[in-house]
């Protein structure tokens, strides 16, 4: 690249970073729903900004205003099927002497993409082929990959799953973090335009046709929807809803955290979405087996997806599609929301498990 081209590239990145900074400082009230500007198909972001999107814009962080509340400080919550807005501190705290296991990396051949693809997987510390474990598939945000969750210890995924299992609330659970960008062309990159986000929408084929069979044949997992969970953040939340609506027979417990726009046609400050379906189509097929829990949640101060998750709640309600909706008071597009969503997903699982005993 000559120096002029380098400069142009630098300026573009600077402009994109500025736009993202603006977005971050917007209040949720004036975000996406009211804003009909599009950033254009060529919007570019720095690697740092992209990394932020993948696992929460306040990467590694939590909402300042979602400081610990009484609920979070409660030593032990009573197990019920009610939503707890925040994940309690005793669930996210690292407990001495408890081994939470480590994420490891694996690969599988994806027929649907025509290439070898990677995933991160958290096996319980004392994982044994003599036992079988339920599995959570956890989907990252835009620009992310299989390392987005495993590389950010502040999301407390390991602690939430490990502590709840140690407390006997849930069974020890395997957590699989795929790379959700299921492009057939290895050179294709995500960006804010319909063509560039298509591979996220096509991940459903890679997940159900390639990754899940690989996980089920490579690890000692329990199969069946009651033992198979799906959750995702932002772009991953959007695909979580989409996949659940298409394949409800596969996932018994589902949580879409801060789901991105674009399931139905929409225009926000990033782009105009064609939509994966029309509003009238946003429901389960007639006679479909329904998830035991289908949670949709979002921070009340989400500065990236704004009120889109709430609009999904409204559309599903209008279409008579059962789900749980709640807001995390004060939370932004960040780990406070992620922790809350994961906690409530496991809490629903724990409650049903206790009931069936």
| Residues near ligand FER, by CB under 6 A | 53, 141-142, 192, 197, 234-235, 260-262, 268, 270-271, 304-305
Give me the least distance between CB of 332 and ligand FER, in Å please.
Answer: 11
Helix (H, G, I), strand (E, B) or coil at 184: coil
Residues 254 and 292: beta-carbon distance below 8 Å:
no
CB nearer ligand FER, residue 58 or residue 165: 58
Q: Compute the least distance from the CB of residue 24 to ligand FER, in Å.
A: 11
Q: How far is the CB of 40 from ligand FER (least distance, A)?
A: 12
> Containing H/E element for 352?
helix 335-355
CA distance 208 to 164: 27
CA distance 139 to 148: 9
CA distance 221 to 115: 24
Write phi, then psi, for 290 (nearest 5 degrees). Answer: -100, 150
Stretch (H or E) spanning 80: none
For residue 91, give Cα distances in angstroms to 66, 76, 295. Answer: 16, 9, 19
C-alpha angle with apex 234: 74 to 188, nearest 5 degrees?
145
Give me the least distance between CB of 316 and ligand FER, in Å please: 19
Ramachandran angles phi, psi of 277, nearest 5°: -165, 170
Least distance from ligand FER to the Cβ atom of residue 233, Å: 7
CB of 260 vs ligand FER, minimal distance in Å: 4
Nearer Cβ to ligand FER, position 58 or 164? 58
Q: Closest CB to ligand FER among 53 and 181?
A: 53
**Shortest gap between Cβ of 309 and ligand FER (angstroms)?**
11
- Kindly state the smallest distance separating residue 200's Cβ from ligand FER, in Å: 8
* C-alpha distance from residue 69 to each of 74, 88, 132, 247, 257 (Å): 9, 9, 36, 37, 20
- Comparing CB distances to ligand FER, the nearer of 28 and 260 is 260
The answer to whether 25 and 306 have CB atoms below 8 angstroms apart is no
Cβ closest to ligand FER, residue 124 vs residue 199: 199
Distance between CA atoms of residues 230 and 255, nearest Å: 7
CB nearer to ligand FER: give 23 or 123: 23
Side-chain half-sphere CA neighbours of 7 within 13 A: 3
Q: Which is nearer to ligand FER, 161 or 235 (CB)?
A: 235
Nearer CB in complex with ligand FER: 182/235: 235
């Amino acid at each position: 690249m000559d120096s002029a081209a380098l400069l142009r590239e630098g300026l573009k990145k600077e402009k994109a970073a500025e736009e993202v900074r603006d977005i971050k400082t917007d209040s949720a009230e004036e975000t996406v729903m009211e804003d009909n500007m599009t950033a254009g198909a060529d919007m570019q972001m720095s690697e740092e900004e992209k990394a932020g999107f993948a696992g929460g814009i306040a990467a590694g962080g939590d909402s300042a205003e979602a400081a610990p509340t009484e609920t979070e400080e409660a030593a032990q919550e009573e197990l019920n099927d009610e939503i707890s807005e925040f994940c309690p501190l005793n669930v996210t705290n690292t407990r001495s002497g408890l081994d939470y296991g480590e994420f490891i990396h694996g690969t599988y051949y994806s027929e649907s993409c025509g290439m070898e693809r990677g995933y991160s997987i958290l096996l319980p510390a004392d994982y044994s082929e003599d036992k079988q474990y339920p599995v959570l598939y956890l989907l990252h945000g835009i620009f992310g990959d299989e390392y987005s969750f495993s590389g950010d210890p502040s999301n407390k995924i390991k602690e939430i799953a490990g502590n709840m299992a140690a407390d006997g609330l849930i069974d020890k659970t395997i957590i699989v973090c795929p790379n959700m960008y299921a492009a057939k062309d290895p050179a294709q990159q995500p960006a804010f335009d319909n063509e560039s986000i298509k591979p996220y929408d096509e991940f459903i084929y890679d997940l159900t046709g390639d990754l899940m069979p690989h996980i089920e044949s490579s690890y000692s997992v329990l199969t069946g929807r009651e033992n198979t969970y799906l959750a995702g953040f932002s772009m991953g939340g959007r695909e979580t809803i989409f996949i659940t609506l298409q394949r409800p027979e596969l996932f018994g417990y589902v949580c879409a955290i801060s789901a991105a726009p674009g399931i139905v046609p929409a225009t926000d400050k990033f782009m105009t979405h064609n939509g994966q379906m029309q509003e009238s189509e946003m429901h389960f097929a007639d006679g479909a087996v329904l998830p035991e829990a289908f949670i949709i949640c979002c921070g009340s101060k989400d500065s990236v997806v704004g009120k889109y998750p709430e609009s999904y709640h409204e559309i599903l309600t209008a279409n008579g599609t059962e789900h749980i909706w709640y807001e995390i008071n004060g939370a932004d597009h960040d780990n406070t929301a992620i922790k809350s969503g994961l906690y409530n997903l496991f809490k629903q699982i724990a409650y049903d498990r206790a009931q069936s005993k």
